[in-house]
């Protein structure tokens, strides 16, 4: 399983960057997890967006799905020219309802709702979902294939079930939008680098990759706070590909 970090920022990208977007590839199957601002452009450095087989959206905040509303124009053109024969499968939480209703477009998307405690089979990937704690309904994802297990936190505060959901993952892709000071100040809706690292250590994951970097916070501060609990922590880098193996 290959994980390519297409975008790793939130709630907005720095100059030249992209918000959340993660490409999983195995056996010729292309699964995109989240599709925030800037992802469509950056994705094309790795694959043709018309080669996507499915998209999973962890939740419906614009920094995680807004480029779906742009990709549709390219897919319409591909359908009209005969380059695309099937609609692209999109799975997303059904709330906020007004955002979910914006996703379908002509005949280029086949949109299906997902919620917590669901199981999906997408090509070589078996996907399980879990509820998270965020400003809108969202899911964490556990993606398993013959070559490894990836767990993606989505956007969330720390919650009691996080460790059990991430248990012994080969790679834990966890948001770390906050730092210790943010938690001290009782900011809601996100997890800190230190909280992510403690959860990873408790869950016994093989690798921890922190993502959803805030463009106004010093990434090295986040790394240092995480290293206290998970010394081998890695910071997601746009454009980098990570190989998962069991």
Residues 102-119: tens digit of each pLDDT:
999 999 999 999 999 999
Domains in the chain, CATH or no CATH each: 2-243 (3.60.15.10)
Strand pairing class (29-33; 54-56): parallel
Residues 68-86: tens digit of each pLDDT:
999 999 999 999 998 888 9
Give the pLDDT confidence score for residue 219 in this predicted structure: 95
| pLDDT band of 246, cuts 50, 70, 90 | low
Cα 144 to Cα 28, 98, 164, 233, 237, distances in angstroms = 16, 31, 15, 21, 22
Percent of the chain predicted with pLDDT > 70: 100
Give the pLDDT confidence score for residue 85 in this predicted structure: 87
In angstroms, how far apart are the furthest CA atoms of the chain? 55
Residues 6+ apart with CB under 8 A from 100: 60, 92, 93, 94, 111, 113
Query: Angle CA(223)–CA(9)–CA(26) in degrees, nearest 5?
Result: 95
């Amino acid at each position: 399983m290959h994980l390519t970090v297409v975008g790793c920022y939130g709630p907005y990208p720095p100059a030249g960057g992209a918000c959340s977007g993660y490409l999983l590839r195995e056996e010729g199957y292309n699964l995109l997890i989240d599709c925030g601002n800037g992802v469509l452009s950056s994705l094309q450095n790795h694959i043709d967006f018309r080669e996507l087989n499915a998209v999973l959206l962890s939740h419906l905040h614009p920094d995680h799905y807004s480029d779906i509303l742009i990709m549709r124009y390219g897919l319409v053109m591909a359908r009209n020219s005969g380059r695309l024969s099937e609609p692209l499968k999109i799975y997303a939480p059904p709330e906020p309802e007004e955002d979910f209703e914006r996703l379908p477009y002509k005949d280029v998307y086949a949109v299906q709702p997902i919620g917590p405690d669901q199981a999906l089979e997408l090509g070589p990937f078996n996907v399980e979902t879990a509820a998270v704690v965020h400003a809108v309904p969202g899911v964490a994802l556990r993606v398993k294939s013959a070559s490894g297990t990836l767990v993606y936190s989505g956007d969330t505060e720390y919650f009691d079930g996080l460790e059990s959901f991430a248990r012994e993952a080969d790679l834990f892709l966890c948001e770390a939008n906050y730092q210790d000071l943010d938690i001290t100040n009782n900011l809601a809706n996100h997890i800190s680098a230190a909280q992510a690292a403690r959860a990873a250590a408790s869950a016994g994951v093989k690798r921890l990759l922190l993502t959803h970097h805030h463009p106004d916070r010093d990434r090295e501060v986040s790394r240092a706070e995480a290293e206290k609990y998970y010394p081998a922590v890695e910071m997601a880098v746009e454009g980098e590909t990570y190989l998962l193996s069991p």
